[in-house]
Amino acid sequence: MVVDTVLLQIVACSLSILMLAAGTQKLAYRQQFAGALAAYELAPACSMPLLLWLIPLLELSVGAGLLFAPDRPVFIAVAALLFGVYALAMVINLWRGRHDIDCGCQLGSAPQQISDALVVRNLLLILAAGVLLLPAGERALHWFDYGVICFGVAMACLLYGAGNNLVATHKRLLAL
Protein backbone atom coordinates (compact mmCIF):
# COMPACT_ATOMS: atom_id res chain seq x y z
CA MET A 1 0.00 0.00 0.00
CA VAL A 2 1.45 3.33 -1.08
CA VAL A 3 0.34 6.52 0.70
CA ASP A 4 0.33 9.95 -0.91
CA THR A 5 3.18 12.16 0.27
CA VAL A 6 0.75 14.95 1.18
CA LEU A 7 -1.06 12.71 3.68
CA LEU A 8 2.22 11.55 5.19
CA GLN A 9 3.36 15.16 5.57
CA ILE A 10 0.08 16.09 7.29
CA VAL A 11 0.39 13.20 9.75
CA ALA A 12 4.09 13.84 10.44
CA CYS A 13 3.63 17.59 10.97
CA SER A 14 0.55 17.07 13.15
CA LEU A 15 2.28 14.51 15.37
CA SER A 16 5.32 16.78 15.49
CA ILE A 17 3.24 19.69 16.75
CA LEU A 18 1.59 17.45 19.35
CA MET A 19 4.92 16.15 20.64
CA LEU A 20 6.58 19.59 20.66
CA ALA A 21 3.60 21.08 22.51
CA ALA A 22 3.51 18.21 25.02
CA GLY A 23 7.22 18.43 25.77
CA THR A 24 7.15 22.21 26.09
CA GLN A 25 4.11 22.04 28.36
CA LYS A 26 5.77 19.50 30.65
CA LEU A 27 8.84 21.70 31.01
CA ALA A 28 6.79 24.87 31.55
CA TYR A 29 4.60 23.27 34.22
CA ARG A 30 7.14 21.02 35.90
CA GLN A 31 5.43 21.00 39.31
CA GLN A 32 2.08 20.02 37.83
CA PHE A 33 3.77 17.40 35.68
CA ALA A 34 5.58 16.02 38.73
CA GLY A 35 2.26 15.71 40.56
CA ALA A 36 0.54 14.02 37.62
CA LEU A 37 3.44 11.62 37.10
CA ALA A 38 3.59 10.70 40.79
CA ALA A 39 -0.18 10.17 40.91
CA TYR A 40 0.10 7.25 38.50
CA GLU A 41 2.15 5.39 41.16
CA LEU A 42 4.00 3.34 38.55
CA ALA A 43 7.60 4.50 38.92
CA PRO A 44 9.75 4.51 42.04
CA ALA A 45 10.12 7.90 43.72
CA CYS A 46 13.88 7.83 43.14
CA SER A 47 13.29 7.80 39.35
CA MET A 48 11.06 10.89 39.34
CA PRO A 49 13.83 13.50 38.88
CA LEU A 50 15.11 11.58 35.85
CA LEU A 51 11.62 11.05 34.38
CA LEU A 52 10.73 14.74 34.84
CA TRP A 53 13.51 15.57 32.37
CA LEU A 54 13.58 12.43 30.22
CA ILE A 55 9.92 12.39 29.16
CA PRO A 56 9.71 16.01 27.94
CA LEU A 57 13.12 15.79 26.26
CA LEU A 58 12.04 12.63 24.45
CA GLU A 59 8.84 14.35 23.34
CA LEU A 60 10.76 17.39 22.11
CA SER A 61 13.31 15.22 20.29
CA VAL A 62 10.61 13.14 18.63
CA GLY A 63 8.68 16.28 17.69
CA ALA A 64 11.73 17.81 16.05
CA GLY A 65 12.61 14.50 14.41
CA LEU A 66 9.14 14.09 12.91
CA LEU A 67 9.30 17.64 11.61
CA PHE A 68 12.73 17.44 9.98
CA ALA A 69 13.10 13.71 9.24
CA PRO A 70 9.59 12.22 9.18
CA ASP A 71 10.74 9.12 7.34
CA ARG A 72 13.18 8.01 10.05
CA PRO A 73 11.71 4.93 11.75
CA VAL A 74 13.39 5.70 15.07
CA PHE A 75 11.29 8.85 15.60
CA ILE A 76 8.13 7.03 14.58
CA ALA A 77 8.92 4.12 16.90
CA VAL A 78 9.66 6.36 19.89
CA ALA A 79 6.46 8.36 19.27
CA ALA A 80 4.41 5.15 19.15
CA LEU A 81 6.23 3.84 22.23
CA LEU A 82 5.48 7.01 24.20
CA PHE A 83 1.80 6.93 23.21
CA GLY A 84 1.70 3.24 24.15
CA VAL A 85 3.32 3.77 27.54
CA TYR A 86 0.89 6.60 28.30
CA ALA A 87 -2.06 4.38 27.31
CA LEU A 88 -0.74 1.48 29.39
CA ALA A 89 -0.27 3.73 32.42
CA MET A 90 -3.89 4.84 32.10
CA VAL A 91 -5.17 1.28 31.63
CA ILE A 92 -3.31 0.07 34.72
CA ASN A 93 -4.75 2.87 36.84
CA LEU A 94 -8.25 2.45 35.42
CA TRP A 95 -7.98 -1.27 36.20
CA ARG A 96 -6.96 -0.33 39.76
CA GLY A 97 -10.15 1.74 39.97
CA ARG A 98 -8.26 5.04 40.08
CA HIS A 99 -10.42 7.06 37.67
CA ASP A 100 -9.91 10.36 39.46
CA ILE A 101 -6.23 11.04 38.72
CA ASP A 102 -5.13 13.76 36.30
CA CYS A 103 -3.85 12.35 33.02
CA GLY A 104 -1.21 15.09 32.75
CA CYS A 105 -2.38 15.89 29.22
CA GLN A 106 -3.42 19.49 29.78
CA LEU A 107 -0.93 20.93 32.23
CA GLY A 108 -1.55 24.58 32.96
CA SER A 109 -5.31 24.26 32.51
CA ALA A 110 -8.12 22.34 34.19
CA PRO A 111 -7.12 18.79 35.17
CA GLN A 112 -8.41 16.01 32.94
CA GLN A 113 -9.19 12.66 34.53
CA ILE A 114 -7.96 9.47 32.91
CA SER A 115 -10.61 7.56 30.98
CA ASP A 116 -11.17 4.85 28.42
CA ALA A 117 -11.57 7.59 25.83
CA LEU A 118 -8.02 8.82 26.49
CA VAL A 119 -6.72 5.28 26.08
CA VAL A 120 -8.52 5.05 22.72
CA ARG A 121 -7.10 8.44 21.74
CA ASN A 122 -3.57 7.20 22.43
CA LEU A 123 -4.20 4.00 20.46
CA LEU A 124 -5.34 6.15 17.52
CA LEU A 125 -2.15 8.21 17.87
CA ILE A 126 -0.14 4.97 17.68
CA LEU A 127 -2.04 4.11 14.51
CA ALA A 128 -1.31 7.57 13.08
CA ALA A 129 2.39 7.10 13.80
CA GLY A 130 2.22 3.70 12.11
CA VAL A 131 0.90 5.32 8.93
CA LEU A 132 4.28 7.05 8.63
CA LEU A 133 5.92 3.65 8.14
CA LEU A 134 3.99 3.04 4.93
CA PRO A 135 5.80 3.75 1.66
CA ALA A 136 5.32 7.20 0.17
CA GLY A 137 4.08 7.79 -3.34
CA GLU A 138 6.57 8.81 -5.99
CA ARG A 139 5.39 12.27 -6.95
CA ALA A 140 6.85 15.71 -6.56
CA LEU A 141 5.03 18.19 -4.36
CA HIS A 142 3.66 21.31 -6.05
CA TRP A 143 2.81 24.69 -4.56
CA PHE A 144 -0.83 23.65 -4.13
CA ASP A 145 0.24 20.60 -2.12
CA TYR A 146 1.92 22.81 0.47
CA GLY A 147 -1.36 24.69 0.95
CA VAL A 148 -3.18 21.38 1.36
CA ILE A 149 -0.58 20.26 3.92
CA CYS A 150 -0.98 23.49 5.92
CA PHE A 151 -4.77 23.20 5.80
CA GLY A 152 -4.63 19.49 6.74
CA VAL A 153 -2.35 20.15 9.71
CA ALA A 154 -4.61 22.99 10.89
CA MET A 155 -7.65 20.70 10.62
CA ALA A 156 -5.88 17.87 12.42
CA CYS A 157 -4.93 20.22 15.26
CA LEU A 158 -8.48 21.58 15.49
CA LEU A 159 -10.00 18.09 15.47
CA TYR A 160 -7.55 16.91 18.12
CA GLY A 161 -8.39 19.91 20.30
CA ALA A 162 -12.13 19.47 19.84
CA GLY A 163 -11.89 15.76 20.59
CA ASN A 164 -9.78 16.44 23.65
CA ASN A 165 -12.35 18.96 24.92
CA LEU A 166 -15.17 16.47 24.36
CA VAL A 167 -13.29 13.81 26.31
CA ALA A 168 -12.56 16.29 29.11
CA THR A 169 -16.18 17.43 29.40
CA HIS A 170 -18.11 14.27 28.49
CA LYS A 171 -19.17 13.56 32.08
CA ARG A 172 -20.60 17.05 32.42
CA LEU A 173 -22.37 16.71 29.07
CA LEU A 174 -23.94 13.40 30.12
CA ALA A 175 -25.23 14.98 33.35
CA LEU A 176 -27.28 17.56 31.43
What confidence tier does 123 reach under pLDDT thresholds 50, 70, 90?
very high
| Total domains present in the chain | 1
Q: Which domain holds residue 108?
A: 5-175
Once rounded to an integer, what is the mean pLDDT over residues 5-20?
Answer: 96
Once rounded to an integer, what is the mean pLDDT over residues 54-76?
Answer: 94
CA atoms within 13 A on the CB side of 22: 26
Q: Which segment of 29-33, 49-53, 91-95, 105-109 scores lowest on mean pLDDT?
A: 105-109
- Give 77-114 pLDDT, tens digit per residue: 999 999 999 999 999 999 999 999 998 887 767 778 89
